[in-house]
């Protein structure tokens, strides 16, 4: 039997869908996954995915009637039909994911209209799914799609450890220069209201260095440059890696004793690697979107939390033996 997963983006959402592939593969399914090109590297090397199908929906939307777009859509449709899935699950719940799911030619399970960001796109799903009230976290909600197509969900937590098997010379070279133990501070987020602020992160990093001998490392990616530079100016002793791909980020985070960040993809990657995470949440619901493996490190009202409270939680989360000071 063959199962096709359609979860195009973004980083954290792709990570939250990893248990679908893990459970399907464990049940004997051959799994294919359609993902946006920008996030394909997050799934490469995943032992539970037999086939990756790359969609360029961002480029297609910019030039919907160009020859390249029409050719790309046709090529993707042909590849999906050749894969010939028996069932497809649309995890994203948007028009573009629903259209791609239908292109494969198999029955489509997806969230019911009231559970989707683009409700009308449920028209393209032949098997509408409404997760139970107890399925609050997005991971548990996603797993309800598997149940709808007859695949048992025995593994629930996302696991991205397979990324550590892929080489990352850039990360290895950077880690060779970093004194240990170290904590990763990630200042970026997709929206302004999800950001804790470089000033507060700098104070936390400085306090961890002074009180626990933990070296600060600044994590960043495309779009985070300005925030990373401000944090580096406020925390001049911190180390800042070069721009890293997904395996490189995984290697960096896995070597740390703590990851600190808001509701953003890197936080969920660190959590899926089993790294202690201090999750700073504000407008979004951590019960739905927070770290799945480690829920002990969630600050639900980050702007109202006192610095000393956040520092105390950070110290509790760090499990490696630490020195008393720099």
What string of DSSP letters covers 228-289?
HHHHHHH-TT-B-PPP--HHHHHHHHHT-SEEEEESSHHHHHHHHTT--EEEE-SSS-HHHH
* Residue 180 pLDDT: 85
Q: Which tokens hold the place of 25? A: 């593969």
- Same-domain status, 132 and 99: yes
**Averaged pLDDT for residues 27-41:** 98
Q: Return all residues near 323 (Cβ < 8 A) that are at least 6 apart.
A: 181, 212, 213
Determine whether 7 is exposed, middle or buried from the number of CB atoms within 10 Å of its CB (0-12, 13-18, 19+).
buried
298 has which bridge partners? 279
Per-residue pLDDT at 190: 86
Counting Cα atoms < 13 Å in the Cβ hemisphere of 275 gives 30
Q: Is the pLDDT of residue 319 over 80?
A: no
Per-residue pLDDT for 281 more than 80? yes
Q: Which residue segment(s) compose the domain that 140 sits in?
A: 2-159
- In terms of domains, do 154 and 98 share one? yes
Average pLDDT of the chain is: 95
Same domain, yes or no: 251 and 305: yes
Q: What percent of the chain has pLDDT over 90?
A: 96
Question: Residue 115: which CATH number?
Answer: 3.40.50.2000
User: Would the pLDDT of 20 be above 90?
Assistant: yes
Among the candidates 159, 185, 217, a domain finishes at 159
Asked whether residue 207 carries a pLDDT value surpassing 50, the answer given is yes
Q: What is the pLDDT of residues 42-86, one digit of tens each?
A: 999 999 999 999 999 999 999 999 999 999 999 999 999 999 999
| Residue that wins the pLDDT comparison between 59 and 323 | 59
pLDDT at 321 over 80: no
Count the neighbouring beta carbons within 10 Å of the beta carbon of residue 13.
18
Give a yes or no: residue 325 inside a domain: no
Residue 204 lies in a domain: yes
Helix, strand, coil percentages for the chain (3-state, nearest 5): 45, 15, 40
Examine the domain organization and report whether 148 and 190 are in the same domain: no
Residue 62: how many CB atoms within 10 A of its CB? 10
Same domain, 122 and 180: no
Look at phi and psi of residue 301 and say left if phi exceeds 0, alpha if psi is from -120 to 50, else beta: beta
Give the pLDDT confidence score for residue 191 in this predicted structure.
86
pLDDT grade for 323, boundaries at 50, 70 and 90? very low
Provide the pLDDT for residue 156: 97
Mean pLDDT of 287-293: 96
Global pTM exceeds 0.85: yes
State the average pLDDT over residues 259-263: 97
**What is the full DSSP assignment across 129-140?**
E---TT--SHHH
Q: What is the mean pLDDT of residues 225-235?
A: 98
What's the total number of domains in the chain? 2
3-state SS assignment for residue 35: strand
The residue among 159, 176, 199 that closes a domain is: 159
Q: Tens digit of pLDDT for each residue in 142-196? A: 999 999 999 999 999 999 999 999 999 999 999 999 998 999 999 999 888 999 9
What pairs with residue 6 in β-bridges? Answer: 34, 90
- Is the pLDDT at 123 greater than 60? The verdict is yes
Closest CA to 203 of 220, 219, 216: 216
């Amino acid at each position: 039997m063959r199962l096709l997963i359609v979860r195009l983006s973004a980083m954290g959402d792709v990570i939250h869908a990893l248990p679908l592939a893990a459970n399907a593969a464990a049940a004997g399914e051959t799994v294919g996954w359609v993902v946006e090109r920008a996030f394909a590297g997050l799934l490469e090397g995943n032992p539970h995915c037999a086939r990756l199908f790359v969609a360029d929906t961002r480029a297609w939307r910019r030039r919907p009637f160009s020859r390249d777009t029409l050719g790309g859509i046709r090529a993707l449709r042909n590849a999906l039909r050749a894969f010939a899935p028996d069932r497809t699950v649309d995890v994203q719940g948007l028009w573009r994911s629903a259209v791609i799911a239908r292109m494969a030619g198999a029955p489509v399970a997806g969230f019911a209209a009231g559970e989707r960001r683009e409700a009308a796109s449920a028209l393209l799903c032949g098997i509408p799914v409404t997760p139970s009230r107890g399925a609050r976290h997005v991971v548990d909600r996603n797993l309800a799609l598997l149940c709808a197509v007859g695949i048992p969900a025995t593994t629930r937590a996302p696991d991205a450890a397979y990324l550590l098997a892929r080489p990352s010379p850039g990360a290895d070279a950077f880690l060779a220069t970093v004194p240990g133990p170290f904590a990763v501070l990630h200042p970026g987020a997709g929206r302004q209201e999800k950001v804790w602020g470089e000033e507060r992160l700098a104070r936390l990093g400085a306090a961890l260095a002074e009180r626990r001998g933990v070296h600060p490392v600044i994590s960043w990616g495309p779009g985070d440059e300005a925030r990373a530079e401000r944090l580096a100016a406020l925390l001049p002793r911190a180390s800042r890696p070069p721009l890293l791909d997904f395996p490189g980020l995984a290697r960096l985070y896995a070597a740390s004793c703590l990851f600190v960040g808001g509701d953003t993809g890197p936080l969920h990657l660190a959590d899926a690697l089993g790294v202690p995470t201090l999750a700073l949440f504000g407008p979004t619901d951590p019960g739905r979107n927070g770290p799945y493996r480690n829920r002990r490190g969630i600050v639900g009202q980050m702007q109202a939390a006192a610095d000393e409270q956040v520092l105390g939680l950070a110290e509790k989360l760090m499990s490696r033996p630490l020195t008393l000071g720099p």
